[in-house]
A and B are shown apart, each in its own frame.
Chain A
C-alpha cells in the first residue's frame, strides 16, 4: 500500500490536540494499533494529498484543507463540531439536490435559476471541503453559462454520485472516530 504522506504530515494535519475526545491522538491508549492504523488509512484516504512539485494534481481523496480547518475548530467547547457541520451539510444539500433535479426535469430549463441553485450548493460543498464535488459544480455552472441541458444533466449525475460516495466515506470516518471513545 502506497503511503500518501509522511507520518509527521498526518500528525500535523489530522490530529487536534485541543480536543480530548473527538479525534484519536497518536499513541493514545484508547486505540490499539490496529484501529489507529485504520484511522490513519481512512483519514489519509479521504483527504486530498497535495504533493509539492507535482505539476499534475492527483486527487487521491475527497476532501481538501477546509475539512482540516473544521477539525481544527473542534475543541472541548464544541466537541462534535465536525460531525454537526457534516450532518447539516447533508440535510441541506439533499434539499438543493431535489430542487435541482426538479429544475432539470422541466422542458424549458431556466439556466439562470439553475445556476443560482448550484451556486448555493457549491458554496456549502466548499465550506465542508468537498473538493471533488466542488470541481464538478464548477463544471456544471459552465454548462449553465453555455445553456447546455445535456451537459448539466450529465454533470449533475456525477455530482450526485460523488456526493453519495463522500457521504459513505464520512460515515465510516465518524463511526471510527466515535468508537475510539474518550482519552
Chain B
C-alpha cells in the first residue's frame, strides 16, 4: 500500500540472524528497512555524529534497536537520540531477549515507545504502527501526499498543516 511504503524503519542489532529476522518482519508488513549492526553506525546514518542538518536523504520514521550490544547499548543509543534536537521526535523501540522489569522501566522512562521481547513476532510489528502513524502526521510529506486534495473537513491533520492548507487555498 502506498501509505505504508512511506514508512522507513531503522533497525539496529549486532546479531546477523536477528537483523535478518527483523528486516523480514518489517518488510512483510510493508515497511522500508535499513538494518545496521551498531549504535554508532545508526547515529552516523542519522547524521548526528557529523552534526549534519541537511540529511533529507535519510529520513526515518521509527528506530528499533536491540538492548544488548557491544560498545553502545540500545539504551545508550536511545539516550543519544532523545538528547538530540533533530532526532528526539523519532519514536524508538527497544528489543531484548531478557525480561528484566527494571531494564524495561528504565527504557520507557528514557522515552522508548515500546519494549519488545525477542524473538520478535509479526504481532509485535503490528504494535508499532500507531507510533509510526503519530510521527508521520507531524510530517508535511504525509500531509501533501494524502490531505492536499481534501477539504478541511476531511483532513484530520494537526493545526500547523491545517493553516498551510488554508494558505494554499487562498493562493489559488
Chain A residues with CB under 8 Å of chain B are 66, 69-70, 72-73, 75, 77-78, 81, 84-85, 88-89, 92, 119-120, 122-124, 126-129
Contacts and interface: CB of A to CB of B under 8 A. Distances in A.
A84 B28 contact: no
Nearest to A129: B119
B132 interface: no
Interface in B120-172: 121-122
Nearest to B21: A127
Contacts of A122: 97
A85 B17 contact: yes
Contacts of A66: 119
Main secondary structure of the interface of A (DSSP, over half): helix
20 contacts: A70-B21, A72-B122, A73-B21, A73-B122, A75-B28, A77-B28, A81-B24, A84-B20, A88-B17, A92-B16, A92-B17, A119-B68, A122-B97, A123-B18, A123-B97, A127-B15, A127-B18, A127-B21, A127-B118, A129-B119
A108 B118 CA distance: 33
A73 B97 CA distance: 20
B25 interface: yes
Interface string B13-31: 0011110110011011000
Contacts of A85: 17, 20-21
A145 to B, nearest CB: 14
Most chain B CB neighbours (cut-off 10 Å) among A72, A92, A127:
A127
Contacts of B18: 123-124, 127
A70 B28 CA distance: 12
Contacts of A78: 24, 27-28
B21 A120 contact: no
Given A85-B17, A127-B15, A127-B18, A69 B119 contact: yes
Contacts of A120: 15
B111 to A, nearest CB: 25
